[in-house]
Structure 1
Amino acid sequence: MSTLHGIGLLLLAVIAGAVVPFQSAINFNLGRGLGHPLWATLVSLLVSILVLLPIILAMRLPLPSMAFIAKAPLWIWAGGAFGVCFISLAVVLLPKLGASGFLALSLAGQVMASLVLDHFGWFGLLERQVTLPRLAGALLLIGGVVLIQFANAPAKAVIAAS
């Protein structure tokens, strides 16, 4: 992999992370407007389908393999459930923790879970042992999370635009 290609992948990962607080804040307002966070989750997922389907059709992707679908282990379908969990919890917790607090704490959870996934090579991932430098990096990230969440300036009440 070329250095330029590698940097491009890193930037795309940063962009993927950067859109999450926007999604969470928008969905929070949507849930408040619709009367419940789960309505916001449902609408968010429906909009995802409406955005994704034309892209799939434009790319003329072949239909998934029915043989794979028939023999796939049950855990392989859990990704959607985890998506519902994240979106729903974001809508509920964002107003209580703030965008930076919620995302920092969810990042801490992601770092801890990803170290375990990598260490054991679960779900077909390459095994990447938890080494002292990797653990130190995770602890530094989590330390940053603690600073972001607990060294806050007092929150100000803001009325969202209707």
Structure 2
Amino acid sequence: MTALHWAGLLALAVIAGAVVPFQSAINANLGRGLGHPLWATLASLLVSIIVLLPVIIALRLPLPSLEFVSKAPLWMWAGGAFGVCFISLALMLLPKLGASGFIALAMAGQILASLLLDHFGLFGLVERQLTTPRVLGALLLMGGVALIQFSATPARALATTG
């Protein structure tokens, strides 16, 4: 793989991460408007289907194998449940923790879970041992998460005290 290809992949990963706080903030507002975060979760997933189906059709993707669908282990279908969990928790927590606080804490959970997934090579991933540098990197990221979450002073509090 060329350096340019790697740079493109890294940029796409950053973009994937960058859309999450926008999605969460927009859906939190939608949840308030609809009366409950779970309605916004449902709306978000329905919009996902509405956006995705034309892309699948435009790309002329073949239908999935019914044989695979009928034989796939149950854990392979859990991604949708994890998506509902993330979207719903984001809708409930983002207004309370702020965008940076929620995303930092969510990232902390992602880092910890990712280290375990890699270390044990779960779900077909390549095993990547839990080494001292990887643990140190995770601890440094966790320190950053703590700084982001616990050093924030709400703007309204500043306005009333200053």
Please name the residue that 1:143 is paired with. 143
Root mean square deviation, CA, Å: 0.9
**AA in 1 matched with 2:74:** L
State how far apart, in whole Å, the 1-side matches of 2:70 and 2:153 are.
53
Is the counterpart of residue 46 in structure 1 residue 46 in structure 2? yes
Please name the residue that 1:83 is paired with. 83
**AA in 2 matched with 1:30:** L
State the shift of 1:154 in Å: 2.7
**AA in 1 matched with 2:18:** A
Aligned residue runs from structure 1 range 23-34, under 5 A: 23-34=23-34
State the shift of 1:8 in Å: 0.3
Query: For 1:38-69, what per-residue CA distance to the aligned partner results, in whole angstroms no more than 9, with x for missing partners?
Result: 00000000000000000000000000011111
The alignment partner of 2:156 has SS state of: coil
Is the counterpart of residue 58 in structure 1 residue 44 in structure 2? no
State how far apart, in whole Å, the 2-side matches of 1:155 and 1:94 are.
16
Structure 1 residue ranges, 4+ long, deviating more than 3 angstroms after superposition: none
State how far apart, in whole Å, the 1-side matches of 2:17 and 2:33 are.
25
List alignment gaps of at least 5 residues for structure 1: 158-162
List alignment gaps of at least 5 residues for structure 2: 158-162
Please name the residue that 1:152 is paired with. 152
**AA in 2 matched with 1:108:** A
**AA in 1 matched with 2:42:** L
State the shift of 1:70 in Å: 1.1
| Count of aligned pairs between the two proteins | 157
State how far apart, in whole Å, the 2-side matches of 1:108 and 1:11 are.
21
Higher helix share: 2
Please name the residue that 1:14 is paired with. 14
State how far apart, in whole Å, the 2-side matches of 1:41 and 1:76 are.
21
State how far apart, in whole Å, the 1-side matches of 2:17 and 2:117 are.
19
The alignment partner of 1:152 has SS state of: coil
Please name the residue that 1:160 is paired with. none
* TM-score with structure 1 setting the length: 0.95
State the shift of 1:155 in Å: 4.2
Identity %: 77
State how far apart, in whole Å, the 2-side matches of 1:34 and 1:116 are.
37
**AA in 1 matched with 2:116:** V
